[in-house]
Amino acid sequence: MRYSRPMRVRFGHADPAKIVYYPRFFEWFHDAMESMFEDVSGRPYAEVLEGTRAGFPAVSLACEFKSPARFGELVDVEVFLSRLGERSGTFEYRVRRRGELLATATVKVSVIDLDTMRSRAWPPDLRRQFEPYVEADGEAPDATRLRS
Amino acid sequence: MRYSRPMRVRFGHADPAKIVYYPRFFEWFHDAMESMFEDVSGRPYAEVLEGTRAGFPAVSLACEFKSPARFGELVDVEVFLSRLGERSGTFEYRVRRRGELLATATVKVSVIDLDTMRSRAWPPDLRRQFEPYVEADGEAPDATRLRS
Amino acid sequence: MRYSRPMRVRFGHADPAKIVYYPRFFEWFHDAMESMFEDVSGRPYAEVLEGTRAGFPAVSLACEFKSPARFGELVDVEVFLSRLGERSGTFEYRVRRRGELLATATVKVSVIDLDTMRSRAWPPDLRRQFEPYVEADGEAPDATRLRS
Amino acid sequence: MRYSRPMRVRFGHADPAKIVYYPRFFEWFHDAMESMFEDVSGRPYAEVLEGTRAGFPAVSLACEFKSPARFGELVDVEVFLSRLGERSGTFEYRVRRRGELLATATVKVSVIDLDTMRSRAWPPDLRRQFEPYVEADGEAPDATRLRS
């Protein structure tokens, strides 16, 4: 199971080459993750944070840009998890334009206590709600390409 | 040799947890790369692009966030290259606060022709100017941590 | 007639005080204007620009922030025009939370030829499509408050 | 007296028309205000906020864009105040390229107590430090142009 949201590439996302300025992809990923939290838990991301006092900072990530996304295009941002640890989660993002994979990313987040800023376990309800979204695919970023 | 620039964490970089919203790091990296181009070539990045008709889109990256950067802190963003290929370059970024490593990233860029958007070789002068900045260190993001 | 779109205040929109960092409002306004163009003309904003070679840069604006929008809140961004000139348009934006006016803005755009960057008349079809959205209300920003 | 800082227009500031996407100007203004606070008070903006528990949210603003700033250009952002009220301040911003005025803005901020979020007086030391920066010039945005 994957969470997916369509989005239009906006004027403010694009750079002088008319393609998406790559830091904007990470804003899309964060927004899509927040939408997924809301869809999965039935509560806005901000309420999840406030209600559980858990936070989900990114600790490690990899991303490959395979083909540029252009100003005005309609893309789909898919979100799922490749791993649901005790105190972490590994979110996967796939950006497609009519099926074609434009960008693929893996973002590992740590579960922390927002009051102490220390590592903690997932809120149990939330962890259970995310379980159906755990899957493996063959499209994750390939670390060996980065070093070649 | 490394290019380094100090910067203050601004109000607009920080999120409700008062730490840097992670997509902002990639804006810092891009800005630092542009500054480095200017420092190394003696011409602003925009003029390098205009003069050579070469562009440098990110194609693959990895990043680790080891400790949060907080609103108001003074950090140093270091830039160098771990590899200078024929048609690509692998930029390394290290963000430190008084020496402590907060974030480490590797961003591989492709050299493209801005008119055809196809792969091309580095402009020779520019490649020569970057050569002194190629080095290896032990602080690059560790891909195995992402998958554990 | 007004164009309206709901949106969730995202983590990346909010600042360390947990309210929207004010420059983000202008990104919302631009995105809402792009959505309105698509809704009104039946074509994405990028296609309107490409098809007509007209552009719509902001030339003058005023904005009042009456009450903060907070991370996680659901707001509505309304767009309409207070004036449709021969070579300009005056867009009005109202941001509400369950009816309450949080921010109000007026953004005058010039119609320009994207090839020459000079002033030109509205593409006639587009001007006609915007006509139903011209209205006056009593909520525009009050310039006298800025100087008191 | 004016506070002034030079800055290079970055790739990420520019849009597909190769000119600055207008919401970025407000990020520049906020950054320049933060730099000015540091220059004037001798303490980073974040420390001023933490030390005095005062905050400075924008409540009303006006801005005129007279000529576009382009990717790669070097501009100066000037900051001063046109008014220093008991519980507010009116900051003025002028963006120039080799003397030519590209953008002019007035941003009124309210002084608030960060704990109660209510209006309060300026911290006295800070108010005294800002006094030399109060001046009037003839370049403020012209509200009548917005409505014509």
Instruction: Tell me the pTM.
Output: 0.97
Give pLDDT, residue A143.
Answer: 80
- φ, ψ at C8 (rounded to 5°): -90, 135
Query: Residue A28, CB half-sphere, CA atoms under 13 Å: how many?
Result: 30
User: How big is chain B, counted in residues?
Assistant: 148
Q: Mean per-residue pLDDT for D2-30?
A: 96
Residue D108 within a domain = yes
**Rounded CA gap, B57 and B114, in Å?**
10
Q: What's the pLDDT score for residue A67?
A: 96
| Residues of D (74-93) whose Cβ lies below 8 Å from B | 74
The answer to whether D12 contacts chain C (CB < 8 Å) is no
Range of the domain at C77: 3-135
**Cβ neighbours for B138, distance < 8 A, ≥ 6 positions apart:** none
Length of chain D: 148
Q: Is A13 left (phi over 0), alpha (psi -120 to 50) or beta?
A: alpha
Nearest to D21 among A11, A18, A23 (CB): A11
C-alpha to C-alpha distance for B94 and B78, rounded to whole angstroms: 5
B137 has pLDDT over 90? yes
Q: Does residue C71 fall inside a structural domain?
A: yes
Chosen for mutation from B15, B20, B21, B22 (greatest number of chain A CBs closer than 10 Å) is: B22
Contact B31 D50 (CB under 8 A): no
Quick check: C122 and C67 in contact, CB under 8 A? no
pLDDT band at C143 (very low <50, low <70, confident <90, very high): confident
Confirm whether A141 is domain-assigned.
no
Residues in D touching A14 (Cβ below 8 Å): 15-16
Q: What are the residues facing A90 on neighbouring strands?
A: A83, A108
Please check whether residue C80 lies inside any domain of the structure: yes
Residues D45, D83: contact at Cβ < 8 Å? no
At D92-128, the pLDDT tens digits run 999 999 999 999 999 999 999 999 999 999 999 999 9
In a domain, C147, yes or no: no
In whole angstroms, how far apart are CA A116 and each of A113, A123, C119? 6, 16, 57
| Among candidate residues A103, A55, A64, A111, the one with its CA nearest the CA of residue A83 | A111
List all residues 6 or more positions away from C90 whose beta carbon is below 8 Å from its beta carbon: C81, C82, C83, C84, C106, C107, C108, C109, D146, D147
Q: Is the pLDDT of residue C148 over 90?
A: no
Q: What is the pLDDT of residue A144?
A: 81
Tokens of B108: 């591989």
Helix (H, G, I), strand (E, B) or coil at C9: coil
For a pLDDT cut of 70, what percent of chain C falls above it? 100
Contact B23 A30 (CB under 8 A): yes
Residue B86 makes CB contacts below 8 A (sequence gap 6+) with B121, B122
pLDDT of residue B148: 79
Helices vs strands, H then E, count in chain D: 4, 7
For residue C12, give the nearest of B18, B23, B71 by CB distance.
B23
Residue with tokens 């390098």: B48
Which residue stretches of chain D are H helix?
A: 23-41, 45-52, 124-130, 143-146
Query: Does pLDDT of C76 surpass 90?
Result: yes
Count of CB contacts below 8 A, A vs C? 48
CA angle A47, A90, B56 (to 5 degrees): 105
User: Does A71 contact C at CB distance below 8 Å?
Assistant: yes
Determine the Cα–Cα distance for residues D109 and D54; give it in Å rounded to an integer: 12
pLDDT over 90 at B70, yes or no: yes
- C29 to chain B nearest CA, in Å? 18
The mean per-residue pLDDT over the stretch B139-143 comes to 92
In this prediction, residue B144 has a pLDDT band, given cuts at 50, 70 and 90, of confident
Q: Answer whether A62 sits within 8 Å of B61, measured CB to CB.
A: yes
Q: Give yes or no for D72 touching B (CB within 8 A).
A: yes
Q: What angle do CA B85, A70, D31 make, to 5 degrees?
A: 80
CATH number, residue C38: 3.10.129.10
Do C16 and B21 make contact, defined as CB atoms within 8 angstroms?
no
Residue numbers in chain A where pLDDT is lower than 70: none
CB contacts under 8 A, B 23-62 vs A, are 23-24, 26-27, 30, 55, 57-62
Q: Collect all residues of chain A within an 8 Å Cβ-Cβ radius of residue C35.
A: 8
Chain C residues whose CB is inside 8 A of the D62 CB are: 60-63, 143, 146
Angle CA(B108)–CA(B114)–CA(B117) in degrees, nearest 5? 70
Distance of CA A75 to the CA centre of its chain: 15
Report residue B63: phi and psi, to 5°: -150, 140
User: pLDDT digits over D20-60, tens only?
Assistant: 999 999 999 999 999 999 999 999 999 999 999 999 999 99
Q: Which amino acid is at D2?
A: R
Range C15-21 average pLDDT: 94
Q: Please tell me if residue B22 touches chain C, with a CB cutoff of 8 Å.
A: no
The minimal CB distance from D8 to the residues B8, B44, B70 is found for B44
* Nearest Cα residue in chain B from D10: B31
Q: Which of C8, C11, C34 sits opposite A10 (nearest CB)?
A: C34
The pLDDT, as a whole number, for residue D143 is 80
Q: What is the pLDDT of residue C145?
A: 81
pLDDT tens digits, one per residue of B92-113: 999 999 999 999 999 999 999 9
Question: Is the minimum CB–CB distance between B16 and chain C shorter than 8 Å?
Answer: yes
Q: What gap in Å lies between CA D60 and CA D83, rounded to an integer?
A: 14
D31, D92 in Cβ contact below 8 A? no
CB of A8 within 8 Å of a chain D CB? The answer is no
Query: What is the token pair recorded at A52?
Result: 């559980």
The answer to the question of residue D49 being in a domain is: yes
Residue D147 lies in a domain: no
pLDDT score, position B143: 80
How far is the alpha carbon of B128 from chain A, nearest alpha carbon, in Å?
A: 20
Count of structural domains within chain A? 1
